[in-house]
Structure 1
């Protein structure tokens, strides 16, 4: 089929994650175990066999890292693509480094930052899973440093909101070894429409593309000598943080005035940012959005929605929301106290 349309099949992803255990008691498996008593891992055996079968057809095998962990390198083809998905806060860098050091093509798939079935914000009205991260907004994706996985222990907490340590002293990449690519993911168990898929993908998919195709000067270079990173290790310094902030402002401006209007014209239902707002002691409302280009509206005591401007005094129950100037759509409404 691939040859007929002029697109040869060069890589075949076999999954190989979360394999079921029920088949272990099948007559075929029991017979195989009797004939090969030394065989203890049917999962690895299966992946090795399928990988060799593909290699005979000059097709590269791709699979998830947890399945590949069950294999023996000597029984695998020389060319393997591995999706390294382990959580960064759970020694995820070690899995990625281990497979890359085998000479395999490692695709970074860290769920802490590349899983777009997770919510943008930790809020009950934001859809999504949360087992690896309570929230993944566009800025978090933008701040990802895919070439230096352990370094994120300095800038991000664990899924429980706690600081953690990433020790790379015995798991470092071999000199000259790097990763093959970066991949975003939208698992669809809870997706019910194209509109919902658009919401979960955009605009953070654009931030992922920025990190996949452009290495920013502020990104912390990987140290092939191995380091221990934690909240206070201090390798990501104030100057890099300042440069990252300036780069984010540049990127957010491009989103607001160039890329999101393009998506609007294409009918993409991208997420409109929520409004950050507060009321000071004098009663003045202060509000902004993380991405410019949206009108900010406010409402007092269930009255009409009004356009926010500086130096506006408010009283009573106040709510805010962002309005898309291109489509007229409104973002999620928030109460301000």
Structure 2
């Protein structure tokens, strides 16, 4: 039996490089997002100085885009000529012919030894060109060899969006263009530009100059994560910025040249402190001293639903719609507390006049917000446009023609689709809030953990919807809020590589999605191309994951997560770096009985960017014998500590403020009167059969799990929600279990899971825990 257990645990095996089948290790030829259909052929086309571009229209913006790329990036001075329909060898033909039966935005790309033909209309031709560019290797060469292939491709969703918040932190026009370039490369087509909020008004409105003179400026900004500090700390530095109307036009044209629509967002009725600072008469109490917010969160000062406010917003949106040709105008509608309206005689009089009442659909103040949004929608509709709002616009009754952007999970989107309203899915629960952390020990963020795997696995069409209702799901969007993102480098870090996963969610058929192929085969090549241009987050080394295991050997077989990068590793417990061993060939290290070996590995790119260090510990121990234990009662004993902890080691010697018994790992009761705390649970776990058992802690902030005093899970450190696992061989009977956890500022959480051999992972239940 022992031998059998060791075979199960065995040796640490490297995660294999993904492949769809044994014959083809790169079925998508490196293309992101994965095409609908790709058929490889024999031979190659040679792109050289003698190649001619033949186009139906030599002034078409997609044609000019490709010509510019080949001439100025690939440095091949090809000629652009009018397509006369004749078959010309050594040519790239860009045409609308051959698009019969293609869905909107679709294209066909055919590379033969004699010719490249891209067939597409409008954006479809541009997307075919983007695919061709991905097949062109970087660097300069006298000739470029391209493989023979036939591709037919079109998007799964018509709306493929990415949002950038420029209110909390402001970014230059040139950087916004760089953001748009990334979107175009990966076939995203809607840039949601969040232009107004409590912390700053970022768009010039000619009729209301105070919006930028006053509303675009805040006196100072909160430092770091203000939830962690009492009192809050500020930088005492004025902050501001806005885009002139000429700059807006410049960005809109730049995006349009890349077939990207720009959706402006003008928040209402909430998130309006910056506007009220400029024009306090738009509030329900003009005597208040309003100012652009200096910290983050939800604020109670919102627009008053007066004729003066509606005239103001109509004037603003008139100028906005003159600048943005977008069919959609985003009006926000989220996080609008109604306290001011409840206390306002004007609002209560208006509520009575409109006959609004509390009922199951919402409070009368919720219905007043619905009146507010519907009134603005009528105005926008009168200009031939439509509104988008966050899912709060459902409260009190949905505007007749509104599109709902579902962010608080999928419930709002599901409800809207069931009411036959268009929906854009953008839930944080689907990994689409890319201001959240991407793993453990990340730079400061708003919290959460939205790794690459999570966004990649998201499906924007909920199964609960009928096929007819699913048709109302227009598409999907990821959002980058910038409370904790003050620099362009950090925008890069938060967006990449998650943008590439988003592109595949939005474009590729579900059947063509394959995370191993995406992350291990295609993504490294793309990140290699982006290495000198963007400050992306370097994914962890391929072939190892953070874990604790048991076995007699440590097998090391690693691959860099970025093409051209180097993997450095150690097995002596020290952190790896440039002075350590680079991984070149697979290695095997014996682990003597009762000893362990610890692999630490990281990726360093040619430009010097580094991944997080991956830790793999392999212990060589026989299966753990059960302990002698007589059942006393269910649940685990706990010891509670208070303090501002940043690591589990700090619990040693800390003052105990409470003890007791807990039947779950829910820490809500500890949070009531304590800002920061630590807890140690201890007792026994019943194991019903011999085998290898996996344990996982999922915690925001540090946690650890020990079995029979042996570390099995190490999830220490101050971090967002992160799952960390390990495994251990156990014999039937009772075993000692210890779980340690600390919470920072009541912002954390703890869950503990066990994987029983042959069964899926599940949370530890009280019937297996004893004290």
Superposition TM-score, scaled by structure 1 size: 0.70
SS in 1 for 2:505: helix
Alpha-carbon RMSD: 3.1
Alpha-carbon distance in structure 2 between the residues aligned to 1:99 and 1:291: 40
Partner residue, 1:136? 450
Alpha-carbon distance in structure 2 between the residues aligned to 1:5 and 1:262: 38
Work out whether 1:64 is the aligned partner of 2:390.
yes
Partner residue, 2:327? 10
Measured after TM superposition, the shift of residue 209 of structure 1 is 0.7
Moved more, 195-204 or 21-30: 21-30
Measured after TM superposition, the shift of residue 138 of structure 1 is 1.9
Partner residue, 1:330? 610
Alpha-carbon distance in structure 2 between the residues aligned to 1:7 and 1:38: 35
Change beyond 3 A, Cα 1:213–1:98: same
Partner residue, 2:505? 211
Measured after TM superposition, the shift of residue 99 of structure 1 is 1.2
Work out whether 1:296 is the aligned partner of 2:296.
no
Q: Give runs of aligned pairs for residues 165-244 of structure 1, distance below 5 A.
A: 168=464, 172=466, 174=468, 177-217=471-511, 244=513
**Gap runs ≥5 in structure 2:** 1-244, 250-318, 358-363, 591-595, 618-771
Alpha-carbon distance in structure 2 between the residues aligned to 1:126 and 1:144: 24
SS in 2 for 1:63: strand
Measured after TM superposition, the shift of residue 71 of structure 1 is 2.1
Tell me how many residue pairs correspond in the alignment. Answer: 275
Q: Say if 1:253 and 1:292, in contact at 8 Å, map to a contact too.
A: no
Partner residue, 1:260? 527
Q: Say if 1:83 and 1:109, in contact at 8 Å, map to a contact too.
A: yes
Alpha-carbon distance in structure 1 between the residues aligned to 2:510 and 2:400: 35
Alpha-carbon distance in structure 2 between the residues aligned to 1:30 and 1:146: 40
Partner residue, 1:230? none
Measured after TM superposition, the shift of residue 260 of structure 1 is 1.2
Measured after TM superposition, the shift of residue 213 of structure 1 is 1.4
SS in 1 for 2:604: strand
Work out whether 1:115 is the aligned partner of 2:433.
yes
Measured after TM superposition, the shift of residue 295 of structure 1 is 2.3
Partner residue, 2:272? none
Alpha-carbon distance in structure 2 between the residues aligned to 1:84 and 1:316: 47
Which residue among 29, 40, 64 is the counterpart of 2:347? 29
Work out whether 1:42 is the aligned partner of 2:309.
no
Deviation sequence 1:221-274 (CA, Å, 0-9, x none):
xxxxxxxxxxxxxxxxxxxxxxx54x63156422212x21232232x1111112
Work out whether 1:102 is the aligned partner of 2:419.
yes
Alpha-carbon distance in structure 1 between the residues aligned to 2:499 and 2:532: 17
Superposition TM-score, scaled by structure 2 size: 0.33
Which residue among 516, 519, 535 is the counterpart of 1:269? 535
Measured after TM superposition, the shift of residue 14 of structure 1 is 0.7
Change beyond 3 A, Cα 1:176–1:27: closer
Measured after TM superposition, the shift of residue 11 of structure 1 is 1.8
Structure in which a larger fraction of residues adopt helix: 1
Q: Say if 1:139 and 1:248, in contact at 8 Å, map to a contact too.
A: no
Q: Say if 2:418 and 2:469, in contact at 8 Å, map to a contact too.
A: no
SS in 2 for 1:284: strand
Change beyond 3 A, Cα 1:172–1:194: same
Q: Say if 1:120 and 1:126, in contact at 8 Å, map to a contact too.
A: no
Alpha-carbon distance in structure 2 between the residues aligned to 1:33 and 1:201: 43
Change beyond 3 A, Cα 1:20–1:290: farther
Which residue among 138, 143, 146 is the counterpart of 2:460? 146
Alpha-carbon distance in structure 2 between the residues aligned to 1:136 and 1:290: 22
Q: Say if 2:413 and 2:425, in contact at 8 Å, map to a contact too.
A: yes
Q: Say if 1:273 and 1:289, in contact at 8 Å, map to a contact too.
A: no
SS in 2 for 1:115: coil
Partner residue, 1:160? none
Work out whether 1:20 is the aligned partner of 2:295.
no
**Gap runs ≥5 in structure 1:** 151-167, 219-243
Alpha-carbon distance in structure 2 between the residues aligned to 1:6 and 1:126: 36
Alpha-carbon distance in structure 1 between the residues aligned to 2:384 and 2:324: 14
